[in-house]
Amino acid sequence: MEGLRRLAAWAAHWLFPQTCAHCREDLPREEDAPLCARCRQGLRLCAPPFCLRCAEPVCGGRAYCTACLGRSFACPLVRAAFLYRGPAPALVRAFKYRGRREAARAAGRWMACLLPGFPELSGHDALVPVPLHPRRLRERGYNQARLLAEELGRLSGLPVLDLLERARPTRPQWDLGRQSRRANLAGAFQASPRARGSSVLLIDDVCTSGASLEECARALLRAGASRVAAYVLARQTLRPVNS
Ligand SMILES: [Zn+2]
Ligand SMILES: [Zn+2]
């Protein structure tokens, strides 16, 4: 039976060889990762010094970035496993646009490995993926944030709860200015009453301005959540980072 299973795996790999999402090199059959070893090493950790609230890299010993300084937030803590640079964008595109669910699962496992490095994210009751609009969910066949959360949940022991839904479709945030981003997202999410009293860790693939996470957190607090923080796979930085 085991031999048969191995033969099937070998045949599947031979028929549909997996390639590295970044450099497109063929991956070894036993490799359970969407990036080759070299590209995995090219992933840059999102490590301090960064803004204590949003994890945007900062320099000069500053505690907060200019966008967060002196403001209060529904989501007062955002942390990311990696910076959105090097092989990270290709990794995200693999599960977002090229149907590679296994890439999201591997990314979720990497997020789980790095989670203990952020003790400030501990003490939550549940993982809540940022939802897709039902139309996009139908097109893609899965919500990549949920795949990340499932893997993270499996390894951390935290339950994954779908406490949020999209109330209406939104335009992609990257082609909008700051004001229009806020208008684009206002009231875009609704939270379930089951959120009442819970301390929630929001999960998403990429954080750019943090506006979606903030809007999700507002919806959860409106529904009675006691605390919301966010953990994403990759942090897109608004300014260039050295090296
Ligand atoms: Zn590679
Ligand atoms: Zn900040």
Query: Token pair 């039976």 is at which residue?
Result: 1
What distance lies between CA 163 and its chain's CA centroid?
16
Residue 96 CA, ligand 2 centroid: distance in Å: 26
Q: Which residues pair with 132 in a beta bridge?
A: none
The tens digit of pLDDT for each residue in 11-27 reads: 655 555 689 999 999 88
Identify which ligand lies nearest to the alpha carbon of 37: 1
- Distance from C-alpha of 173 to C-alpha of 191, rounded to nearest angstrom: 21
| Higher-pLDDT residue of 73, 134 | 73
The secondary element (H helix, E strand) that includes residue 229 is: strand 227-235
Write the DSSP assignment of 34-58 as a string of letters. SS-HHHHHHPPB--SSB-TTT--B-
Residue 218 is which amino acid?
Answer: R
Domain boundaries along the sequence of the chain = 2-235
Residue 209 CA, ligand 1 centroid: distance in Å: 28
Residue 197 is which amino acid?
Answer: G
- Distance from C-alpha of 111 to C-alpha of 47, rounded to nearest angstrom: 13
Neighbours of ion ligand 2 (CB under 5 A): 51, 53-54, 56, 65, 68
Q: What is the pTM of this model?
A: 0.90
The C-alpha torsion from 24 through 96 and 175 to 189, rounded to 10°, is -160
The pLDDT value given to residue 132: 93
The tens digit of pLDDT for each residue in 187-229 reads: 889 999 999 999 999 999 999 989 999 999 999 999 999 999 9
Identify which ligand lies nearest to the alpha carbon of 207: 2
Residue 88 CA, ligand 1 centroid: distance in Å: 11
The tens digit of pLDDT for each residue in 27-46 reads: 887 667 899 999 999 999 99
Residue 89 CA, ligand 1 centroid: distance in Å: 13
- Distance from C-alpha of 154 to C-alpha of 115, rounded to nearest angstrom: 13
Quick one: fold of 2-235? Rossmann fold (3.40.50)
Residue 140 is which amino acid?
Answer: R
